[in-house]
Structure 1
Amino acid sequence: MTQDRQLAGSKAAALSALMGAGFPVPPGFVVTGTFRAEALAGAEAGEQELSLQAAARAAGPGPYAVRSSAVEEDLPGASFAGMYESYLNVAAVDLAAAVERCFASANAERVRAYEASLQSGAVGGSAGEKGGLDGVPGGGMAVLVQQMVDPVAAGVAFTANPLTGDRGETVLTAVPGLAESLVSGVETGDEWLAGAGRPRLVRGPGSVLSEERATTVIAAARRIAGYFGCPQDIEWAMDHSGNLLILQARPMTALPDPVQWEPPGKGAWIRNFRLGEWLPEPVTPLFLDWLVPRIDAGYNEAVRRSLGVDVPMRFGAVNGWYYVSPPTPRALPRLLFGGTARSLPYFYNSVARPLFDPAGADRTVLAALEHQWRTDCLPSYRTLAETAWPASATASLAELIGMVNAVAWKAGEYLWLFAATGGAAWKMELALARFWRRHLAPAPARRGTAAQRPGHGYQVLLGGLSPALPQRTPHAVYSIDWYHPTAGEHSGQDREPGGGPYPDNPAALPAAERRRAAEAACRAILKGTGRLARFESLLSVAQHYAMLREEQVRDFTLGWPLLRRCATEMGTRLRDRAIIGDPEDVYFLTLDVVRLDAPAQHAVVEARRKEWHRQRKLAAPLQLGKLPPLLGNTFDRLANTARSTTDLPAGALVGHPASPGRARGRVRIVDGPGDFGAFLPGEVLVAKATAPAWTPLFAAAVAVVTDGGTLAAHASLVAREYGIPAVVGTGNATQVLRTGDMVTVDGNAGTVEGEPLPGPLGS
């Protein structure tokens, strides 16, 4: 092979350079465009074939791989990946025909289209860059012939993270045998991620490579990047003896700037707080630009009416993910003393008092707020959603915008009453957990028969509370970003009333039985101690507000079917004016261009949709910046108080102990409704977060694990109703675990322990 790129093409020149530098490259030779042109101009075809076979014999025994090596291929601004033909397992006698077909592929229509896109600047490069393979036939083209390898594993290594742009990370993918299925997109394979330390398996069963062999490939890839001086896209293979072979190396194209997770402002920013609990992935542009501010405004006005003081929280998006910043301690004096005469007592009773005197908070403030929610907010919200529905199909664009504004504002009001009342559930739970820890947890060790012992953790007292399993709710959502269809749309119900309960879970009845037994055991232990009345009070309000929260969660999205219909109607009108190409494109606009005289938005929509899909693959931190001491310590105390033990297993994934019990099963990572059909009974549901539309999966799951959430999150409360263990707030379960892992979920300790799968190659 030769390192002359103009003669041998980019692929062959790069491999020749690597071979000369001592990297393992399969032996081979290059058929230049000049050689082919001379043959076509008059040289005997027989002589050409003899020359090819002689070169093949010098390279080693066949069969051979025949691949393109164009001058303009594998460049930083133009990869031409997959544009030309390749032929594998070619016998020596068939080389001439394969080489000729490979040359001929340079004139394929897809190659010309790609060149045109380069010249226009639409795909990499810049306008005015030379495209085309001009001159004599094949003049810009060579063909690389190499000895065919028989790999036990093969794949691709990127020496910079193609998703985040992080130049310090290497991403390695591997499949058994040849990598054709991986390169063509038919198979995804195992995926390893390596930063400064050992590589970590982030996707796939891990059956292709051992960690040792993955480390070998990654180290070689990084040396190649160092040799060329820029991030590389490397195809590799490993033979049955464990020898690594480099099949291709080219500069990475379209590498994004490194992803930064910087707070959008001063202070702490939380991803799963307020609206964030309902947003398990990045938000679409129109939701962020329109609905989030409108919901926030409705919320703040409702707070002002209740507390007599403004309690605004900043929100923003980081790499498309919603974050909110709670008030800092500096804002406390204004919150306490900056409002009306009722502000301080109202703030004290609704925010602080539930943590230590739940019954007092209920009596003075929260019960009245719940009454307001039941008698005013919820009925008016339902009436708005129902009365506007018939008119939405024929409404003008301005009327549709008005409907969206009205629903978003009402949802904001609802969210405040929901946050103040149902949102107090976790505070009341903390009070119950503290009582349990002080007066009940040690009791079984001291006295009482096994039948009298109240169980492993206080959470058993908050399970099996509902007289029936949750009903099917057409307005339930997977995410409150209105881009996503509601549960009713997925089931074909649209807005019709619920279709009955979800499938029975045999663990649900035992959950209620265990709760009743635990209640009886607690009463027996506390009888005669003077603490029974306190226990009854804590238990009563904690159980009531736990159920209230789930009831409020269910109807928070009453207006979402109407929002979705309004969005579809707006999108249809904009499509009819050729402003967008499809009604669904409306979600990738901003509010200022939702008008009939707006300029065409096709390019903007395409770019934003592409960016949104890229952002969906990012692992967004739960927190940016440092939480205020009061808020941060409260969440930590709740988790630690709830935990059945502080002696946590080494290497376990740790989160909040949300629903009691232990269960063993195989992991199923579920990103959204598209994955629901693959979920199997007895599997462990692992998700970023869950919302009411996820409830059908709880009927089949043996346990639940989530990245986000607290003890009062949807996953926690519903798991208790179904009597299955749950661990929430792990931060990165969807990144650390993988579908097929066998794990044990301990909902009492808040841990997830993995078990090794069958050994991969080289183990």
Structure 2
Amino acid sequence: MSSCIPSPDPNPLAELYTMAASDTPYLIPTSDAAARQTVLVGGKASGIARLAAADLPVVSGLAVTVRAYHDFIAASGLSRTLDKLVTSRDFRAMRWEAVWDTSLEIRNRFNRAQVPDAIREAVTAAMDAYSLRGPVALRSSASSEDAAGHSFAGLHDSFLDLADAAAVANHLPLLFASLWSDRALLYRSELGLDPAQSAMAGLIQPMRTGPAAGICFTKSPMDERRLVVEAHAGPGIELVSGQAEPARWVVDRESRAIVEQTGADSPLPESTILDIASVALEAESVLGTALDMEWIVPDDADGVRILQARPITALPGANATENGDARPWKREDRRPWDMSLHRSFGQLKELRRRVETLIPAMEEDARQMRESSSKNMDNDALADEIERRLKVYQDWNDRYYEEFVPLAHAVRLFGQVYNDQLAPDDPFAFRDLLTGERLAGLARNEQLEDMADMLRADETLRDSVARGEFPESSPLQPKFLDFIDAYGDLTCHIAWCSEGEAAVLDLLVELAKRPRRAPKQRDITDAEQDFLRSFPESQQDFATELLDLARAAYRLRDDDNMALGRVEAAMLDAVEDGRQRLHERFGADARRLSPQDTARSLRDPQYVPACIGCEEPDRPAPSREASVVRGQPAGPGIARGPARIVRSREDMYALKNGEVLVCDSVDPAMTFAAPLAAAIVELRGGMLVHGAIIAREYGLPCVTGVNNATEIFEDGEVLIVNGEDGTVRRAAGEPA
């Protein structure tokens, strides 16, 4: 296999498109000796071939070789897409939203590509020759998968119940695209594997049914002297995806005796469980490593059959002592947390129900804290109150990551299903079906615009407010007081906005300088009908439910942060009271005390925090020389304007009409000023960050994922923000 054919377009990923010899078949049976070569058929298919050669009971089938992947890439020109989206990107430094976006775009580009006729014909011929008729399963089998030292279990896609050879061929692009799933991208980056050396193969197997299916871990993660068998009266994929609660047995590896049974009711007798354990240990001996083995007890055969077997390898960093006691999302290695965010459709529906009840509970906690004044407490009591409120905030913050953040996956699930069904040219066209939801942040902004309308209509009132005067007889007063009562904690909280309510009045004056900006209205009727019509009648309920779920998740993505912001503000009320009392002792540094240090300093007059006033270590300044900076397109359109660098919430009040908002992160407490912006440039990446959400609602161009955004641009320099291609260009010498 030394003959190679280069990609038609040389690029940094050239090695990826080097194909196997032209006489290598696209498909080979797992009974063929060549199918034992991982480099040719991937880890999953070669594992089945090796186990079959050792006379272990497997579900045999056909292996799709990596030549099919390479020929598909070469014929479709997808090398350019991968070059653009994968090369030179450090996925370890990207937020999970940005990685999601990248993988979603890759999947859509693959899905739009045509499978070469030669591959289609080979699939049909091979399945006919080996009497492999539907329904069948098409399983991923990456060439770098399941090698020594790492396992890609569960990171790539498989497709079940495919009716025939045509359905298999139609699903090959999605199978190949799963090589670049968000989880796989994160895993490969963390392991330092070169994406240019990766390729995808596949495994076609007949679907088998039976009284039970499940998985077996030949070494328990809790005790390597044991193995674990999990069983379910249904498809094994429901266990792998977490959709079903299994019956679980722990078996001693040495004595082959069951030592514990837990979980759901058992669908199998203990004798069958011991048979599964024996087969799994034999498979472990053949493949030379502890295994995660998927099995089935089929109706048409005696005993267990192996569907697939993969090495068990702990995720790097999962057992590390550094940050070992920290929550997964707080650890230095957040990759295991990022990869855990996927949820099934059923799990997402349950999460939605929980989040919709939790948000009012969060807001109630914030209300109760605000109504409990801390100003008249003595120092010890105030310290207790700070710690109490801090715990409330930390508990809600943990719940936010445990339940609220995963719900955002409903938007991505909808986007993936939408793209798979319609294969649109724009991989993010589905976003239009999400906008227009009643976001809490937009409701706040509408009240601001209502007050700004009063200034637009009354020049005398506008001039008065601009001078800092507030006529008490003005009809503006009750509206303003109502606004402060409803949103003061999220608009100009005393702990971070030194100008207080006066800053809100300044904002109204600035808003009144231009016409009212309302959320952009889109007619999405046709797009919605196109989506629903793409499903057969039997799946209409699913399509409708998924769209409704995605819209709710999109709305709740904003609402939950607003509620969490209220809890944080109520906590900071007490902290600010403590900092003010400590000002005489610590001077200006009192404002920099953490809540914990504030409470301890109130209790102990001798306590001096070790790191008060500490500066961050000097870091090399990023280069400001590039005329064009690239990020990710997150809000369509093109706009220009002078840059306004926003490094804190308080800086938002410096934003003027027509400026480009440049920041690390737009949190929901900052979106009140966004209608002034001409465009938004944000360090955080992804279509689900709040800067992108608010930009799309107002029709603002937005580019996210711009590294060192607040350091590479300067206040006042004119920027041209292209939300279509994700670029920010310096308009040197050009007027704003």
Task: Give TM class, smaller chain.
Answer: 0.3 to 0.5
TM-score by length of 1: 0.33
